[in-house]
Amino acid sequence: MADQARPGARVAPEESGGEPIGGRRIALIMTGLTFGMFMASLDQTVISTAVRTIADDLNGLTQQAWVTTSYLVTTVVSTALYGKFSDLHGRKPMYVISVSLFLLGSVLCAAAQSMWQLAAFRAVQGLGAGGLMTLAFAVLADLLSPAESARYRSYFGAVFGVSAVVGPVLGGLFAGIGSLLSITGWRWAFLINVPIGAVAALLVAALYPSARQQRAAHPVDRAGIAALVLCLAPLLVAAQQGGEWGWKSPATLAMFLLGAVGLVLFAFAERRAGDAALLPPLLFRHRDFSVSSAVNVIVSMGVFGVLGVLPLYLQLVRGLSPTQAGLMILPQTLGIVLIGRFSGPHIARTGKFKGYLLVGVATMAVASFALSTLSPATPLWVPAAATAAMGVGIGLAWQVMMAAIQRQAPRSHLGAATASFSFFREIGATAGASVFLSVLFGLAGGRVSAAFTRAVTADPAVRAALHDPRVVADPANRPLLDVVRGGAVDLDNTTFLAHADTRLVAPLLTGLADAMSTVFVVSGAILVAGVVLVVFTGKPER
């Protein structure tokens, strides 16, 4: 196999018909791929701080969840499609198609006139995003030996951490500027993709070699595509809306049932399709592949669950700005890059990965449990250290899983195997972010009410505030006074925290931190399940 070449060798990709590729050309191709991945991953987070401004402008606050769900659904579904189609038709044409779809969706999003239009156009974006993430890793495996590709995989992995930091900051910046060049500020969160995507497409289209060999004409797995959509779309909608609908509501249970039916149909469709399957069954005959895929889902749930809640702790409980909160997550990005830079080459050279995977997932579990100790008074170095440890664990785990998957995959199914890594990661990420946020806000009301009950009884400062006529008359304190009187806390708009009496704010922050602590414990427990899976099902190394 080409990817078994000696470390440091420049490998001629299978698609090029043996055409050698120099180091400078490879570096430029990788730059284009990195731009594409950054663009796709950025759009998972860039509207998180701008969505309220967008919803107010488009008069559709109650529909905002669909803007996120539509993007994630089509990203997850298209991830598997691009991997398979690139095996059949070549990496370059599929990459150009994915960039084109993403840019088309971005321009349409910037022109949206309603929330429903925006949700539909975000779905178009997602159809392109699946290819941008998947094909980058497949091209990497085509062009380089395992030793060299490990270095670039660490860079690719850092893209997700960087976008998690930059995205919310950019979204808040664009939402706050009002207008730029006579265009509403939030629309630039989508228009910024145009120059980035153009560079990515031009570099890959101009420098990546075109296919020369005749590829096998496999039929398209239409039944698998339909079953995959039937499985994923209802499950992702349930994960997104379950907290609002109620986890035992008829609507939520119907979504879970429909998703289960789709999963069964997908398994039958893939078995029947054989080598033409989106996720070829032969890949799952390798224990390393199956274990890595299962751990991938678990790890992604834990990671993105933490990433969804930690910025809220930093901004709501500790009062940091979006920019400051983003900087607090930088240690995680550094951890991903540094550990990936050193561990990746060693894994590729020795083929031993179980120990790395075990240490990586265990480190993430410890970091998550450390975050569960956070309170309003916790020194900021504690979450900084925990996020750095989380980054080290992520760098180890994702490096190992990608290496294990690509080592086991036949060359003819390399694209599908690589796509499976992104596919299972997106499944776990979507479930983790959606479910954990639902758990957080489901717990927050009760925990805040309990904190106020304790404070009214035991805290003289709170009792003094409640007897101060100026505090009672101040409109900024009304949401907190409503909680004291037995009402529910309204967290849809938290701007009142900046102006309310600090004595009344303190119990609310305590209740929020308590709810977040429970979420971090749940994340840690999920990651412990990943450790158990690695220990008891991973194949012993020789």
269-281 mean pLDDT: 74
CA atoms within 13 A on the CB side of 423: 23
**What are the phi and psi torsion angles at 144 (to 5°)?**
-125, 160
Counting every residue written for the chain, the total comes to: 542
Q: How far is CA 354 from CA 206, 319, 399, 541, in A?
A: 39, 41, 12, 7
- Asked whether the beta carbons of 115 and 63 are under 8 A apart, the reply is yes
Each domain of the chain, given as residue ranges in start order, spans 1-219, 444-518
Rg (CA), the chain: 24
The vertex-410 CA angle with 409 and 411, nearest 5°, equals 110
Under 8 Å between Cβ of 316 and 494: yes
pLDDT number for residue 249:
86
pLDDT of residue 214: 38
How many secondary structure helices (H) and strands (E) does the chain include?
Answer: 20, 2
| 427 vs 128, residue with greater confidence | 128
pLDDT tens digits for range 129-149: 888 877 887 777 777 766 566
pLDDT digits (tens, 9 = 90+) for 16-56: 444 556 677 888 888 888 888 888 878 877 776 666 577 66
In DSSP terms, which residues pair with 184 in a beta bridge? 179
Residue 421 has pLDDT above 80, yes or no: no
Q: What is the pLDDT of residues 54-76, one digit of tens each?
A: 766 787 644 555 776 677 778 87
Tokens of 434: 């959606």
pTM: predicted TM-score of the whole model, two decimal places: 0.71
Q: What pLDDT was estimated at residue 524? A: 92
Q: For 472-531, what is each residue's pLDDT tens digit?
A: 888 888 888 888 887 777 766 667 777 888 888 888 899 989 999 999 999 999 999 989
| CATH, domain range 1-219 | 1.20.1250.20
Contact 449, 483 (CB under 8 A): yes
Q: Give residue 44's pLDDT.
A: 73
Phi, psi torsion values for 107, nearest 5 degrees? -65, -40
DSSP per-residue string spanning 433-468: HHHHHHHHHHHHHHHHHHHHHHHHHH-HHHHHHHT-
- d(CA 166, CA 438) in angstroms, rounded, equals 24
Residue pair 149/348 in contact (Cβ under 8 Å)? The answer is yes
pLDDT band at 372 (very low <50, low <70, confident <90, very high): very high
Determine the Cα–Cα distance for residues 495 and 437; give it in Å rounded to an integer. 20
